[in-house]
Structure 1
Amino acid sequence: MLQSSGNILLIHDDEIRLADLRSQLVGHFNVFVAGDVRSAYRILREFDMHVVLAPEHTARMTGLQLAESIKGSFPDIVTIVQAGSSDYSALKTAVRHGRISHYLRSDADVDDIIQQVGNAMQLVQLREDNRTLGIELKKRTDEQQRILELFKRYVPEQVVAQTLSNGNEAMMVGENRIVSVLFADIRGFTRLSGQLRPAEVVEFLNDFWSVMSGQVRLHRGSVNKLLGDGMLAVFGAPVSYMDNQENAVICALEMVKALDEVNQKYSQRLGQDIQIGVGINTGEVVVGNVGSSDYMEYTVIGDTVNIAHRLEQMTKKRPNSILISQETWEQVNYLVAAEPVDHLQMAGKDKTITVYEVTNRLDANIKPMRRGGLGY
């Protein structure tokens, strides 16, 4: 931190002139003196100088050369050169190009010198203040980024981006969208969790959902909710792609494959392999931010969501199975093999839904021309 008076180095090979300058400035600044260039550089290396006042000439170089060399090695130091009238043009050019900071007439009186040095000290202080503010700004920016990254763990990244972009304008907006909804659930989790300590349960869930949510992101979906041992993911909101249905089904297949990674770590500790069930349905939903001024949640609402949940519940007797609705099957039948296994009657509705179990992916090169996206 710059002291109130500041540190100035006076350089002059005339001992009388050097002593005279020191006596004029010592009551206003912390004054250091050097009778030659070598002594000046030793002081500059050992002490924190703020301003250097160079003479018109030294035995080794001109004052302009000396000031330029100091500024090259110590760029934060304000350099002032005293010079005769014949040097003004060169000094003005040097100041304009940033090679030195200021210059003074060699016959300047003490008041002019004190004022010029005082101005230089203020410049040094401003630089230091700006540097401090820059450091503080970076700390705050880093903290905001950390909070934002933490926020993204709990809210879909696209929702975060939309909220930051639109502010309150988009907070309560709802819209209808056609999406694919994916529910996934860990089979027999209550029994499995009984074999672990509470901290281990949390560790397991974090590891498990890190792997599974990673597959959702990889396939352009959005994790909407983590429900302990269950997950709700949406393909088509808040951001939609041309192949939302395909992304959802391929994601489910990859989630089942990804169980190997989790089981390598936990199956021995649990005494059995971890299994999941997945249900996927496609249809219209209402999406938007729902809640109060204190708490909001981006959510999906509608029969499409309820049906996807019912499909996931139907997998309880089918370990590691993926059940999809007729609506989803019609969009992905070129991509995966599936067989009808059941029918689902929705409460209060006449419509019966044919349920298909996805068995495997077909040749990845088979793709209708009308589709885009990830290239499945």
Structure 2
Amino acid sequence: MTEDKNETAAAKSLRHDLLTPINQIIGYGEMLEEEAAADGHENYLGDLKKIGIAARDLLAKIDSLPLDGHEGNGAPAKNPPGSGPGVSAPGVSVSGVQSGEYVAPAGSREEEEPEKPARILVVDDVELNRSMLSRRLGKRGYDVEVAEGGAEALEMIREKAFDIVLLDIMMPEVSGYDVLEEVRKEKSPLELPIIMATAKDEGEDVVSAFKLGANDYITKPIDFPVALARIETQLSRKRAMEQSKRLTVELERHNQFIRKTFGRYLSKDIVENLLSSPEGLALGGEKRTITILMSDLRGFSALSEKLDPEQVVAMLNGYLGKMADVVTHHNGTIDEFIGDAVLVLFGAPTAREDDVQQAAACALEMQLAMKEVNEENKKNGFPELEMGIALNTGECVVGNIGSQKRAKYGVVGSHVNLTGRIESYTVGGQILVSAATAKLLEGELVLGDELKLGAKGFKAPVVVYDLLGMKGRFNLSLPKRTEEMRALVRDIPTHLAILDGKHVKEDDVPGAFLSLSLCDALISSDRELHKLANLRLRCTGLNGVIIPSDLYAKVTDASNGRYTIRFTSVPDEIKSYFRSILANEVA
């Protein structure tokens, strides 16, 4: 049995040694035939074709020599030599490719040379094979380098970048299998395609090559048009992979830009929703119960008129940036920045079980963050800011609102208007929460006074509460006001007018300051004032001259013609005036 195997191996080796020079004759004959046709030497073409036919006939006879009692390669009958995987006899179609002609893969452009020709490494221990194949590939526009053995091939692959490798299997010392196995430790079949080119065509050799990571397998004599087609197929796959990688990188860079740019204004949920599915951009909405937070700076319009535009923007950006950080920390969706106002949604586009709790905690932390905002303003020479916040829960329509050209994720409904109305009643440092929101957080909130407000679209008065803090896991509370009003030794005259929005509702009427702090005052007035009315006051200096700046305030309590007011915007000139009064005119 052992002797039979040795005889078979010896016969195979002899057959390989005979096939190699015949394959060279066929290959060089085809190359000369191409060159003769290209140079117009048609009188040589007939003889060159005869040489090829004779060589292939001899090849067939050698290939049919019996091995171990079987015909040819151990198979009872077989196709003519060269018709194994990836090759074909003259005139026989293999995988849709006709012998003698090269058909470019779909989508490729054979007429156009690529900007950078593909780099091919041809590895073969026989010089004539390397020379013949490299010359024919070079004529087709490829950038070809050769290696005469496995060790040299490995060194070249480590040092240089190749697009594809044509690798002979039977080489001394380091075989094609060894090279393939080593390369696949670092480069995948998509990163570096490898086509095995050899005279061996037994099934077990094909299986071994594919198991080690070969991309394709062609047998000698190499049918050059088929080889070209298979090379271009592998290169096309490689280009597609590289293009896919580039597109993936570009898409991620694009998405990162969107996250970085729009993430400053939209919540992470909205941005990720837009990126994850095209449907996220579709116009449309749905009814949903959400909690709405609306904040606004008190007296900012008056302040902005006294500052340069650059200062206004810098101060506003510092404030909004800090508020945005607090909102995103509590999973809120910043729906809009409207000047110095902020509209935040909790429960859209993504609903969470603790949306209402997060909204209340967010409002408290926003007020607490104003201390840091004002410390930064002081460093920059900006005035101190105060903010009012409203919280309300109700059913609204949320979704992408607008047109095909311009749309935004937004919210509409009566509860949005109600939240805005509640916010208009707040004073600086205050949070007013609707009864609907307070009920959902019963036992979790620390509430102050109950107020009843009139609101358009609501027949009954709207009940709201002064939010002072929160129990439980958030454990937050607003600082108590430490500055108390001081009684004045004499009445300080003033003139006041009631505001409807930002417009004066009626003419000024006389009034007087009875008690004062830098935040509040007790005044008298010849006109009846209602609780939560907005006022504009004009102060008269101790010298009897009217100070040319307006003071804005809100009525927080009313009793027997006396009114407690909370200042919402105090110009620097009036602050100085009040300090002078508190230093000299108190009881």
Question: Is 2:285 aligned against 1:173?
Answer: yes
In structure 1, the partner of 2:228 is 118
Question: Is 2:242 aligned against 1:128?
Answer: no
In structure 2, the partner of 1:294 is 405
Question: Is 2:434 aligned against 1:321?
Answer: no
In structure 1, the partner of 2:342 is 231
1:265 to 361, 368, 376: 376
- Residue 4 and residue 321 in structure 1: after superposition, are their counterparts in 2 closer, same or farther (change >3 A)? closer
Q: Matched residues in 2 for 1:247 and 1:47: separation?
A: 58
Identical-pair percentage: 24
2:293 to 182, 185, 196: 182
Q: Is the contact made by 2:322 and 2:369 (CA closer than 8 Å) also made in structure 1?
A: yes
Give the secondary structure class of the aligned counterpart of 1:248.
Answer: helix
Q: Is the contact made by 2:283 and 2:403 (CA closer than 8 Å) also made in structure 1?
A: no
Q: Is the contact made by 1:335 and 1:364 (CA closer than 8 Å) also made in structure 2?
A: no
Using the TM superposition, give the Cα deviation of residue 216 of structure 1 relative to its aligned residue in structure 2, in angstroms.
2.7
In structure 2, the partner of 1:28 is 137
Using the TM superposition, give the Cα deviation of residue 129 of structure 1 relative to its aligned residue in structure 2, in angstroms.
1.4
Using the TM superposition, give the Cα deviation of residue 301 of structure 1 relative to its aligned residue in structure 2, in angstroms.
3.4
Using the TM superposition, give the Cα deviation of residue 184 of structure 1 relative to its aligned residue in structure 2, in angstroms.
0.5
2:333 to 222, 236, 246: 222
1:54 to 159, 168, 193: 168
Using the TM superposition, give the Cα deviation of residue 148 of structure 1 relative to its aligned residue in structure 2, in angstroms.
4.6
Q: Matched residues in 2 for 1:259 and 1:297: separation?
A: 29
- Residue 132 and residue 204 in structure 1: after superposition, are their counterparts in 2 closer, same or farther (change >3 A)? farther
Q: 1:7 is matched by which residue type in structure 2?
A: I
Q: Which shows bigger deviation, 117-126 or 129-138?
A: 117-126
1:343 to 428, 434, 452: 452
Using the TM superposition, give the Cα deviation of residue 132 of structure 1 relative to its aligned residue in structure 2, in angstroms.
3.2
Query: Structure 1, residues 313-359: CA drift from partner, whole Å, max 9, x if none?
Result: 222xx321112233333333412222226432235755223442222
Q: 1:91 is matched by which residue type in structure 2?
A: D
Question: Is 2:124 aligned against 1:11?
Answer: yes
2:194 to 78, 84, 93: 78
In structure 1, the partner of 2:468 is 359
Q: Is the contact made by 2:150 and 2:171 (CA closer than 8 Å) also made in structure 1?
A: no
Q: Which shows bigger deviation, 159-168 or 20-29?
A: 159-168
Q: Is the contact made by 1:10 and 1:22 (CA closer than 8 Å) also made in structure 2?
A: no
Q: Matched residues in 2 for 1:262 and 1:168: separation?
A: 35
- Residue 56 and residue 286 in structure 1: after superposition, are their counterparts in 2 closer, same or farther (change >3 A)? closer
In structure 1, the partner of 2:387 is 276
Give the secondary structure class of the aligned counterpart of 1:211.
Answer: helix
Using the TM superposition, give the Cα deviation of residue 195 of structure 1 relative to its aligned residue in structure 2, in angstroms.
6.5
In structure 1, the partner of 2:323 is 212
Using the TM superposition, give the Cα deviation of residue 250 of structure 1 relative to its aligned residue in structure 2, in angstroms.
2.2
1:91 to 186, 205, 227: 205
Using the TM superposition, give the Cα deviation of residue 253 of structure 1 relative to its aligned residue in structure 2, in angstroms.
0.9
1:137 to 237, 247, 255: 247
Q: Which shows bigger deviation, 161-170 or 231-240?
A: 161-170
In structure 1, the partner of 2:110 is none
Higher RCO, 1 vs 2 (CA within 8 Å, ≥6 residues apart): 1
For the pair shown, which has the larger CA radius of gyration, 1 or 2? 2
Structure 2: where are the runs of 5+ without partners?
1-113, 476-587
Question: Is 2:419 aligned against 1:308?
Answer: yes
Structure 1: where are the runs of 5+ without partners?
367-376
Q: Matched residues in 2 for 1:40 and 1:161: separation?
A: 47
Q: Matched residues in 1 for 2:280 and 2:133: separation?
A: 62
Query: Structure 1, residues 263-314: CA drift from partner, whole Å, max 9, x if none?
Result: 3322322444332111223334444443333333443334433332222222
Q: Matched residues in 2 for 1:283 and 1:63: separation?
A: 73
Structure 2 length as normaliser, TM-score?
Answer: 0.51
Q: Is the contact made by 2:150 and 2:176 (CA closer than 8 Å) also made in structure 1?
A: no
Q: Which shows bigger deviation, 226-235 or 348-357?
A: 348-357
Q: Matched residues in 1 for 2:224 and 2:358: separation?
A: 74
How many residue pairs were aligned?
A: 352
Structure 1 length as normaliser, TM-score?
Answer: 0.75
Give the secondary structure class of the aligned counterpart of 1:311.
Answer: helix
Give the secondary structure class of the aligned counterpart of 1:306.
Answer: helix
Q: Is the contact made by 1:64 and 1:81 (CA closer than 8 Å) also made in structure 2?
A: no
Q: Which shows bigger deviation, 263-272 or 41-50?
A: 41-50
Using the TM superposition, give the Cα deviation of residue 225 of structure 1 relative to its aligned residue in structure 2, in angstroms.
1.7
In structure 1, the partner of 2:14 is none
In structure 2, the partner of 1:374 is none
- Residue 255 and residue 92 in structure 1: after superposition, are their counterparts in 2 closer, same or farther (change >3 A)? same
Give the secondary structure class of the aligned counterpart of 2:284.
Answer: coil
Q: Matched residues in 2 for 1:102 and 1:235: separation?
A: 57
Q: Is the contact made by 1:178 and 1:283 (CA closer than 8 Å) also made in structure 2?
A: yes
Q: Is the contact made by 1:51 and 1:121 (CA closer than 8 Å) also made in structure 2?
A: no
Q: Is the contact made by 1:51 and 1:120 (CA closer than 8 Å) also made in structure 2?
A: no
Using the TM superposition, give the Cα deviation of residue 113 of structure 1 relative to its aligned residue in structure 2, in angstroms.
5.2
Q: Which shows bigger deviation, 180-189 or 166-175?
A: 166-175
Give the secondary structure class of the aligned counterpart of 1:173.
Answer: strand
Higher helix share: 1
- Residue 26 and residue 5 in structure 1: after superposition, are their counterparts in 2 closer, same or farther (change >3 A)? farther
- Residue 34 and residue 190 in structure 1: after superposition, are their counterparts in 2 closer, same or farther (change >3 A)? same
Q: Is the contact made by 1:221 and 1:234 (CA closer than 8 Å) also made in structure 2?
A: yes
Using the TM superposition, give the Cα deviation of residue 90 of structure 1 relative to its aligned residue in structure 2, in angstroms.
4.3
Q: Matched residues in 1 for 2:441 and 2:146: separation?
A: 84
Q: Which shows bigger deviation, 258-267 or 226-235?
A: 258-267
Q: 1:82 is matched by which residue type in structure 2?
A: T
Q: Which shows bigger deviation, 26-35 or 155-164?
A: 155-164
Q: Is the contact made by 1:11 and 1:40 (CA closer than 8 Å) also made in structure 2?
A: no
Q: Matched residues in 2 for 1:123 and 1:258: separation?
A: 62
Q: 1:187 is matched by which residue type in structure 2?
A: R
